[in-house]
Amino acid sequence: MPPNDKTVAELGEFGLIDRLTAVFEANFEPEPEPESAFRLDLIVGNGDDAAAWEGPAGTTVFTCDAMVAGSHFDLSYSTPADVGWRSMVSAQSDIAAMGFRPAYSTVTLGLTGNETGSLLDEVYVGMAQACSGFGGRIVGGDVVRSATMFISVAMVGSESPVGHSSTLPMTRSGAKPGDLIAVTGPLGGSAGGLRLLMSGASPSGPAKALIDAHRRPEPSVATGVWLATNGVGCAVDISDGLAADLGRVCRASNAAAAIQLADLPVEPELKAVFPDDWPELALGGGEGYQLLFTAPAEVVEAALAMNPAITPIGEIVAGEPQVTVLDKNGSPLTTLMSGHDHFPKR
């Protein structure tokens, strides 16, 4: 190992992706364009929820997401069907965050060989349930042997419905000072549910709502399509936590965000079960797959009329990229610039 070389654990996940993207671009020499009527023009590349390109008849979006045993799921407290559901929803949510509909998926299964057929059947039942609800029929896949079980889903999303074939994908870089920030539903429930599952809590009483939020999160496909076709240009799905994903919007848009802790929508069950920790769960908990979007006040108002679960939580302001959480008096409680990192820097 050269003296200045760092391991992935030292580099951190986000630094790594930026670095590898730069390495690719530096070493990539596109082939001469074939004489083609079917030019595909890349309009969103690396670094957003999904990539997007324009063909002659509309825009296509493309994403991938992986879940690894031990890191993203644990069959000792998740059912195989829940794991299948969540692996599909995670990709569907990326497509929804662009304002598109899930269309087709491929699934790569990395298997140790010791999984039973019925366990994998259940994984696929969960996937089929998620596809039935939100789109993304499985059309192909690959099964490979791996010492660690993993599920990798790649998904293509199609254009929004008729009359909107020129819809632009919503990106992370479209936030403008003065925009309101809104989310499509309650935060922190999935993370609270995961914490309960890991502690062995029984799914009854208020715990049940949280555990269900973790087991069966839903991607906001219909809302995402509505937003993109009604003038919203900036959205992200909350997969790694509000603070982390809003932080990405700030960095990509070169702006700051101020959010009101008291305005964060949370389930009453979250406050009941975690009276002290609910703000941490609402700000930092991921895998709930709500969308976050920014737009002028009148657009947010129209969105709210369409989906009453939508909740404004703050505002985009000019300044260095950062997320500030304010108390009821408008005083900063905390300033956040980190997020969930699979390889947090040491």
Identify the burial level of 263 via C-beta atoms within 10 angstroms of its C-beta, where 0-12 means exposed, 13-18 middle and 19 or more buried.
Answer: middle
Sheet holding 150-158, edge to edge: 41-44, 51-55, 58-68, 150-158, 101-111, 137-145
Name the residue with tokens 């490979």: 144
> Out of 89, 95, 96, 131, which residue is the one contacting a second copy (CB under 8 A)?
131
| Structure token digits, residue 225 | 């399509």
- Segment lying near a second copy (by CB under 8 A), choices 162-170, 226-234, 278-286, 319-327: 162-170
- Segment lying near a second copy (by CB under 8 A), choices 21-29, 168-176, 286-294, 301-309: 21-29
Of 116 and 329, the one with the shorter C-beta distance to a second copy is 116
Site map for a second copy, 303-322, x if CB under 8 A? Answer: --------------------
Site map for a second copy, 237-276, x if CB under 8 A? Answer: ----------------------------------------
| Structure token digits, residue 73 | 């799921």
Of 97 and 207, the one with the shorter C-beta distance to a second copy is 97
Alpha carbon 9 to its chain centroid, in Å, reads 22
Q: Which amino acid is at 140?
A: G
Whole-number minimum distance, CB 57 to a second copy, in Å? 4
> Out of 95, 97, 98, 127, which residue is the one contacting a second copy (CB under 8 A)?
127
> Out of 86, 101, 248, 271, which residue is the one contacting a second copy (CB under 8 A)?
101
Closest CA to 273 of 220, 194, 330, 335: 194
- Segment lying near a second copy (by CB under 8 A), choices 131-139, 177-185, 186-194, 331-339: 131-139
Q: How far is CA 101 from CA 42, 66, 139, 160, in A?
A: 18, 19, 16, 7
Name the residue with tokens 């820097």: 345
Of 132 and 334, the one with the shorter C-beta distance to a second copy is 132
